[in-house]
Structure 1
């Protein structure tokens, strides 16, 4: 059993007290192997923040029994600091394995693990000054998206079980085409806006507003689901005070409910890629360039089955920068 917990802030050439240079340096994780699968990763800091808030993790168990996860890959895109993405990197795969052992189905395990992790992340601090402090790991405005991929064997067949919270993505390349196994949880999506406003106690004022060129929950967050961000989640107390405030109590509809998928891995399935949203073409939400799903599938297919996953991850990241992406970018590539 092997678990690699990577801090993306350590995978760039900048220290914590050094100002960002204009040249963005990509750092990559060496390719690892689990059975017939090969995995690699790369990450680069964006141009907006001083530190890379992305994180990623790799769990491998070459001695997994039937039904147990052989590999768990994860990418976490932090915001408002890196405390939540770091906590998820250190803890979520363990919670997933605990729930996996209890659940009857992998989708149930992933859903329960995500909700349990978020419940821990938004708890108030303990101790004498807790009543005056903000809820949540890293503070009330610290959060993260997540995308998770688990590979396991059942009945002699390999399967891929995935989950996502927020707008990080996972792609499966099947017959050379992109199959997106995640849903972008953003308030740009009308269905997400309606979901959030169904719990709105004030019908005259939407919980989602169009602010600074994009839809935002509470006029602040350009995500409709995320880990952390306790100031946008239901609470019995107002941030910084020991009692509920009438203007706050119900939260803003943000949650960490994942979308989960399961796929049987076939000979037509060649690559899996996980990434933070900085890889993609989403200038309205801060990406400013990047790739499309179809371009990524074509790139991985053209690379061929013997290509090095780490080299591919690094090239995806570097080309996204060249295309104009300004966000932190983290990519994991796995050859099936």
Structure 2
């Protein structure tokens, strides 16, 4: 839909957009939906979804709202700005779940919130060496992001500054604390900001992940920070650190840490472990984008990205993903946060089957 057409929608009754998208479920099997406005006379007026008078009906694909499963109004200002209808992403539709697995405590944390009228926040944190660093990020990350938002238009810069500042703040907190274990505490951090319902920016350190389901296929938005990456390994060595492999063949920084970037892990900073996140910006296409999902490694090392896409198709999806990880043999904490977009429920999901061999192989990952 062109910008001119969107302006026509606003002038001729933008409220009509919301009314059509909130139609009863009895319309969900209809192939086409049109809106007609009538004057006080019997004369028919042009549909606000057919501004050019061509007579061609509007399909659900035109709006990105598929099968009437997400009943949300259209955000008119950003729709006009970007020249396409953009549905409001509601926090009420966000799904989240966390499972302790076979650990004694759950060190995973997750959060989501509305920071401003136009910016939404979603995050997962996977703590190690205790939950102190994950708790600190869960409590204060929003504060630092909100501090930088008015100063900087670029959301990638906002997130980078927030990550670096919260790492410094945790260091101050740990050094002032009487609890010496805080010096060894750290956490992954995967944070997503969504502006105007269309601009998605993700920042990450560690091995928690973000992926987008686009036209039924998994699109990875993060890359794990592990010693297996050549660029990460080189930085560790340049800073005086070393890589050691455990009995399972897994590389660790200085024989202790399975990741090369994190928040906290103060005893590892001199060995090249940094809090500088890698960021990614993507523009959503609600006609084809089904959802964003953030996951911790209890899921990532047992359920692959495409399987996550295939599993997620209903309101209890976050719980299904964490339970599938447990079925596949994870012993770690498992957490997922799922944010549905316009094409939620549009693409058919493949069946995911239990694999005994994978369950057996993965069970040694956290031994």
TM-score (norm 1): 0.71
Q: Secondary structure at the match of 1:92?
A: helix
Paired residue for 2:63? none
Question: Could you tell me which of 289, 306, 322 is aligned with 1:317?
Answer: 322
Q: In the TM superposition, what whole-angstrom CA distance separates every residue of 1:248-287 from its partner, at most 9, and x where no partner exists? A: xxx1100111011111111211110001111023xxxxxx
CA distance in 2, matches of 1:216, 1:182: 20
CA distance in 2, matches of 1:198, 1:36: 44
CA distance in 1, matches of 2:173, 2:291: 41
Relative contact order, higher structure (CA 8 A, sep 6+) = 1
Give yes or no for the alignment of 1:258 onto 2:293: no
Q: Is the 8 A contact 2:293 2:337 kept in 1?
A: yes
Give yes or no for the alignment of 1:139 onto 2:182: yes
Paired residue for 2:296? 276
Paired residue for 1:223? 259
Structure-2 change in CA distance of 1:124 and 1:147 (3 Å)? closer
CA distance in 2, matches of 1:163, 1:125: 24
Q: In the TM superposition, what whole-angstrom CA distance separates every residue of 1:24-61 from its partner, at most 9, and x where no partner exists? A: xxxxxxxxx993442010000021x3110001111125
CA distance in 2, matches of 1:148, 1:124: 22
Superposed, 1:62-211 pairs within 5 Å as 64=117, 68-69=118-119, 71-123=120-172, 134=180, 139-153=182-196, 158-200=198-240, 207-211=242-246
Q: When the two structures are aligned, how many residues end up with a matched partner? A: 253
Q: In the TM superposition, what whole-angstrom CA distance separates every residue of 1:189-213 from its partner, at most 9, and x where no partner exists? A: 222111211222xxxxx52222343
List alignment gaps of at least 5 residues for structure 2.
1-71, 73-86, 342-367
Once superposed, which parts of structure 1, at least 4 consecutive aligned residues long, lie more than 4 Å away? 124-127
Q: Secondary structure at the match of 2:274?
A: coil
Structure-2 change in CA distance of 1:74 and 1:133 (3 Å)? closer
Whose Rg is larger? 2
State the shift of 1:115 in Å: 0.5
Q: Secondary structure at the match of 1:102?
A: coil
Task: Tell me which protein shows more helix as a share of its residues.
Answer: 2
Q: Is the 8 A contact 2:101 2:331 kept in 1?
A: yes
**Coordinate RMSD, CA, aligned:** 2.1
List alignment gaps of at least 5 residues for structure 1.
1-32, 201-205, 234-250, 282-289
Paired residue for 2:77? none
Q: In the TM superposition, what whole-angstrom CA distance separates every residue of 1:194-243 from its partner, at most 9, and x where no partner exists? A: 1211222xxxxx5222234311111101110111010111xxxxxxxxxx
Paired residue for 1:296? 308
State the shift of 1:333 in Å: 0.6
Structure-2 change in CA distance of 1:210 and 1:151 (3 Å)? same
Q: Is the 8 A contact 2:227 2:253 kept in 1?
A: yes
Q: In the TM superposition, what whole-angstrom CA distance separates every residue of 1:272-316 from its partner, at most 9, and x where no partner exists? A: 0001111023xxxxxxxx21011112223xx2xxx21xx000011
Q: Is the 8 A contact 1:40 1:334 kept in 2?
A: yes
Task: Tell me which protein shows more strand as a share of its residues.
Answer: 1
Paired residue for 1:41? 96
Question: Could you tell me which of 327, 330, 336 is aligned with 1:331?
Answer: 336
TM-score (norm 2): 0.65
State the shift of 1:133 in Å: 7.2
State the shift of 1:126 in Å: 6.4
